[in-house]
Chain A
Amino acid sequence: MSTSDTSRRDFLAAGLLAGAALTGCSGNENPFDKAQKSGMITPTGKTVKLLSVDGEVVEMDEAFLRPVSDLPPVSNAEARVGIPGKKFVMVIDLSRCKSVKACQASCNHAHELNPGENWIKVNVMQDAEYTAPYWQPTTCMHCDEPPCVKVCPVDATFKREDGLVLIDSDRCIGCRFCMAACPYTTRVFNWEAPQIPKEMAAKPYSCETSTPQKIGTVSKCDFCADMTRKGELPHCVSACPNGVFFFGDMIEDTVSNGAETFRFSELIKDKAGYRLMEDLGTKPSVYYLPPVNRNFPFEDKEDSLGEKKDKIKS
């Protein structure tokens, strides 16, 4: 099972598993090899000492520890390139959506959005008079031919190797052409100063976390690029109690909602997945599974603004 690539040698040289403690593990290959080869993680050079099951001391590079607390922030140049060899895709199962909006709440919280700003919108759709009404959560589609990226005059929004379309709030001039160009109207604008504490606002901006938000710039769903770099699922995926969102790497042909994992190609084929506004040619990266065999009957308890009907509006 040995691979003769230099990355593996470098990997070992970075100070890894001490040889003696390998009795408990069969096979000499390192599972973290794949992670490093895929370019997702680079060894920091800093090692940590741990206790193995046999009571021996092992040393491991910090970057490869799972679960990982926090990776060092990625530079702007790296954030613009992304993770080569991957292509992120999301599958939204409309038959499970009950408009709980836990996805919205966790997304807004994780990205420190202003009240009233929602990157995820849960639309009430009814395609025609006799067709079924259903809820449709929409995120950014991270299109493969993104109209928003085409029109940005200053390269503030860009498409990466791994398919994500991100925004650099340090570059954005606030012309809002991308907002006009997006047919899914998924982008939001910071019309006023973000209501975040000063310490958060003073932190350097990262394209992968899309925080801290800045006034006069555009923002949108980023598929939680910082989480996917760590190998974790985006916040909306983990937050949904009904398992509506599936996320994964199309190249690995697998998507997961945390609890269930499926082969992406089989899931789309079996359940007749489709994309929104296919005819526009934007080639979105979000697939929908039609609302068949609904888990929940459709009851629109919200008014057209998306607020609960019995909630008193301030």
Chain B
Amino acid sequence: MEIITRQKIIDDLAPKKFGWRGRVWVIVLLIFCFIGLVAYLLQLSKGLVVTSMRDYASWGIYISNFVFFVAISLVGSLITAVLRLTNVHWSTPLTRIAEIIAVSAITFASIIIVVDMGRPERFYNLFTHGRLQSPIIWDVVVITTYFFISILLLYLPLLADFNILLQIKKRTGSRLNKLYSFFGSFWKNKPEQIKINNRSIQILSITIIPVAFAIHTVTSWLFATTYRPGWDSTNFGAYFIAGAFLVGSGAVLVAMYIFRKAYKLDKYITNDHFDRMGKIVVMLALVYLYFNVNEFLAPAFKMKKTEEGYLHGLFTGVYSRIFWFALSTAIFIPILILVNKKGRKPLPAFVAGCLVVIGSWFKRYLIVTPTLLNPLLPMRDVPDSYRHYFPSWQEWAIAMGSLAGMMLIITIFARLLPIIPIQETIDEMEEHEKD
């Protein structure tokens, strides 16, 4: 095995400037964000009528995007906290990627929910007139809490890395140096500091897990506390969390591959990492499949009158194509790819990860719309457009813009911070050399 020196690690992992590919990527993302912003300004001036949402389909892809973002944000707790607590070491290179994805996702979850509001300028009412009985208030509290915890979990392990980066001042630009010293100049690698920091990270890892469970359970209760067919399910908390872990780990597969390619990190994100991550995705996909079976088979067995239209719509009707497409791309095909050892090589694993993310997005759409278009009383005395829902161009623009925004924040983080924890990698290497 090639011996990697400490200096080499630092050289490899320090943030690098963008090449032409990086710049094109950022520009494309900025274009999407800009179009989204324009569409939002249109929405602000004319009202939500620019969307295709109407009285029956009163929630649309803004809300499904919101659920999607919250789901992805759970990856931070999975990779960083769970794997850390179980003393798994191979996942160390992936922890920062996971935390960055988590922070960006939770930021955009908050943004997209404000976009969905009919009166965003009254946002402060949530704080001045909030009702504790409302699941939305629970969601606001938990999302805020999770946001701060994720930031802490991103920040604390960064302290050691800031120190290292400050030592190679000449390589990094003066602006980045200012950033690093502002956030981490007090880190002197003293043993007491290391001890306190490690304990803090340990406490955080423990705390973040119930908070992560809470955030997605509460989000699922935005649906499960109603009487609607498809939402009136006791399964929702666990079902959503299983789906969240799946899409989070799929997103990590995608990010792993891209960063490895972009920054030539083959020595740090090895084929072995893809292999193990692939196995995790298979396991999570099977768990999610299990919850899907529970969610659909039991009601289908009964075919209650209120749920009949909804279930038929999903299995054989209007939504069947999306339904089977989503299940295939999120669950079946990734399992088929990743179950095979050859499928867990970097490129196939990346493809499987992409499929998981895409399929999961459509799955979130299927959670929101079919239920709303199957109300308990017939749809009557409304214009024809109220009976269907296909997002308008403004909704697509804003939804894509928010996804682009999330990726933009990840990209910016990757530019500013070492995408793989330097100090921990060095520690691992030194541990490894001792053996």
Contact = CB atoms under 8 A, between A and B. Distances in A.
Contacts of B53: 191
Nearest to A172: B119
A294 interface: no
A133 to B, nearest CB: 12
B116 interface: yes
A112 B109 CA distance: 36
B48 interface: yes
Interface stretch (B202-210, B222-230, B241-249, B286-294): B222-230
Interface string A57-93: 0000000000000000000000000000000000000
B377 A138 contact: yes
A153 B136 contact: yes
A129 to B, nearest CB: 12
By size class, the interface of chain B is 35 or more
A4 to B, nearest CB: 42
A177 B384 CA distance: 23
Given A191-B47, A192-B47, A179 B58 contact: yes
Interface string B374-404: 0111111111100000000000000000000
Contacts of A152: 131, 134
Please report whether the interface of chain A is mostly helix, strand, loop or mixed according to DSSP.
loop
A116 interface: yes
Most chain A beta carbons < 10 A, residue from B116, B120, B136, B223: B136
A179 B134 contact: no
Given A147-B227, A155-B131, A172 B376 contact: no
Interface string A179-191: 1110111011111
Interface of B: 46-49, 51, 53-56, 58-59, 116-120, 122-123, 125-126, 129-131, 133-137, 140, 222-223, 225-228, 372, 375-384
B226 A181 contact: yes
A173 B129 CA distance: 11
A305 B384 CA distance: 7
B372 A180 contact: yes
A216 B43 CA distance: 11
A123 interface: yes
A45 interface: no
Interface in A5-63: none
Nearest to A281: B227
B131 A180 contact: no
B383 A173 contact: no
A124 B380 contact: yes
Contacts of B222: 177, 180
Please report whether the interface of chain B is mostly helix, strand, loop or mixed according to DSSP.
loop
A306 interface: yes
Interface residues of A, number: 48
Contact of B125 (A124, A173, A306): A173
Nearest to B128: A154
Contact of A154 (B130, B376, B377): B130
B262 to A, nearest CB: 39
A185 B377 CA distance: 7
Interface of A: 104, 116, 118, 120-125, 138, 147, 150-156, 171-177, 179-181, 183-185, 187-193, 215-218, 276-277, 280, 304-306
Nearest to B48: A191
B116 A175 contact: yes
Nearest to A175: B117
B126 A306 contact: no
Nearest to A183: B227
Given A171-B122, A217-B118, A116 B46 contact: no
B56 A175 contact: no
Give the top 10 A-B pairs by smallest Cβ distance, nearest first.
A174-B118, A216-B118, A192-B49, A153-B136, A306-B381, A191-B49, A183-B227, A153-B134, A154-B125, A185-B375
B48 A217 contact: no
B136 A151 contact: yes
Contact of A189 (B58, B126, B129): B58
A191 B54 contact: yes
B128 to A, nearest CB: 8
A196 to B, nearest CB: 14
Contacts of A153: 126, 130-131, 134, 136-137, 140
A154 B129 contact: yes
Contacts of A147: 225-227
A305 B388 CA distance: 13
A175 B136 contact: yes
Given A192-B46, A216-B118, 5 more contacts: A124-B380, A155-B131, A189-B48, A189-B54, A305-B381
